[in-house]
Amino acid sequence: MPQLQLNLLGPLHIMLDGVSLAFRYEKVRALVAYLAAEADRPHTRSELAGLLWPDSPEVDARRNLSQALFQLRQTIGDADQATPWLIVTRDTLQFNTAADQQVDVSEFDRLLAACAAHAHEAIDTCPACAERLEQAAALYRGDFLQHFQIDDSLAFEEWTVFKREGLHRRALEALDQLTRYHAQRGVHDEARRYAQRQLDLEPWREEAHRQVMQALAASGQRSAALEQYEVCRKVLLEELGVEPAAETKTLYERLKRAEAEPPEAGLAPPLGRWRTSLPMQVTPFLGRDQELAALAGLLGNPDCRLVTLIGPGGIGKTRLAVQAAAQQQEDGQQPQRQRIGEQPDHVATGLPVKR
């Protein structure tokens, strides 16, 4: 069964089984984009005709809609499908989410909704949500329907702008959360990458400039961090006519003083060179994904000083603790302290804890 794929984030791109589809008229593309982005409900033909042909008499607008619908269904081969991509009635049209289709906006919304519904201490320290956010960020190839417009419909243009601004804001929030997540884990290259993606969307986003500065400084690139301040200052002056905020200036002055100081002796080794005493495991670790995700969230929380696993003997506390610690090491976490506590009738295994 062929799959219909619509990329609405960035330039509009419509594919059938990986092959790009060409449409003769922009309003046919506008029709399928609107139906796919607003797939949660049926739309009356009068509504769609008024949206795309607002200056035409209703009879002419509905005739134009019928012609556009015919061309759309013919191009995608909708009538030949056992489960068509469009639900068409005499009065309404709706995009069929039960058909074999993939719409990037829908997947983007689903991933962010899953993060919002997930039970975690904080999204900035939740590995499961970080994975979802990374998938959502990968889907956001550009602003909604970038460079796409139809000139004679103010209503369609207003809908596009409203949708674009909402998705743009949510993308920035996701990128900011990813930046904070990686910064807290000490993975500074990733923190810098997601901060820079924020700046690609909004060059005047001052908080992201600070995040880039902090990531550069944390990875030993203090001169580059100071140069980033000058970039920030120039952009703010050119785009908004303002100077950097006091918080940004304070960070700059602190980095400038640190740049003038001699390097400290006895610095910690770089990421990937931490020596641990974790025992070698001869069998693979299977299952317990939920427990591992919960432990990773706790260990990523700077306010969590100690994690203790409690339960009857033989249920796998030690194996789970070792696996959680190993994942922290693989992900670039820097174990700072290992504590082991004991309680009556239980074995409590300490894990690396961040201050």
> pLDDT tens for residues 139-151?
999 999 999 999 8
Position 208 scores a pLDDT of 98
| DSSP 8-class letter at 261 | S
Position 277 scores a pLDDT of 59
Q: Residue 15: helix, strand or coil by DSSP?
A: strand
Position 121 scores a pLDDT of 79
User: According to the 3-state scheme, what is the secondary structure of 130-145?
Assistant: HHHHHHHHHHCCCCEC
At 350, give phi and psi (nearest 5°).
Answer: -80, 150
Position 336 scores a pLDDT of 40
Contacts of 115 (CB under 8 A, 6+ apart): 123, 126, 129, 132, 133
* CA atoms lying within 13 Å on the CB side of residue 328: 32
Position 272 scores a pLDDT of 40
At 6, give phi and psi (nearest 5°).
Answer: -120, 120
The partner residues of 104 in beta bridges, in order of sequence, read none
Contact in structure between 35 and 86 (CB atoms under 8 Å): yes
Q: Residue 211: helix, strand or coil by DSSP?
A: helix
Q: Is residue 228 within a helix (H) or strand (E), and if so which, with residue range?
A: helix 222-239
Position 266 scores a pLDDT of 43
Position 260 scores a pLDDT of 75
Position 253 scores a pLDDT of 96
CA distance 248 to 232: 9
| Ramachandran region, residue 241 (left: φ > 0; alpha: ψ -120 to 50; beta: rest) | left
- Could you give all domains of the chain from N- to C-terminal order, each with its CATH number? 4-102 (1.10.10.10), 203-259 (no CATH), 296-348 (no CATH)
Per-residue pLDDT of the chain (355 residues; tens, 9 = 90+): 789 999 999 999 999 999 999 998 999 999 999 999 999 999 999 999 999 999 999 999 999 999 999 999 999 999 888 899 999 999 999 999 999 999 999 999 999 999 999 988 788 889 999 999 999 999 999 999 999 999 899 999 999 999 999 999 999 999 999 999 999 999 999 999 999 999 999 999 999 999 999 999 999 999 999 999 999 999 999 999 999 999 999 999 999 998 777 655 444 444 444 445 566 554 666 667 667 667 776 776 656 667 787 877 656 777 777 777 766 665 555 444 343 343 444 434 444 444 3
Position 124 scores a pLDDT of 82
Position 264 scores a pLDDT of 54
Position 343 scores a pLDDT of 41
Contact in structure between 95 and 86 (CB atoms under 8 Å): yes
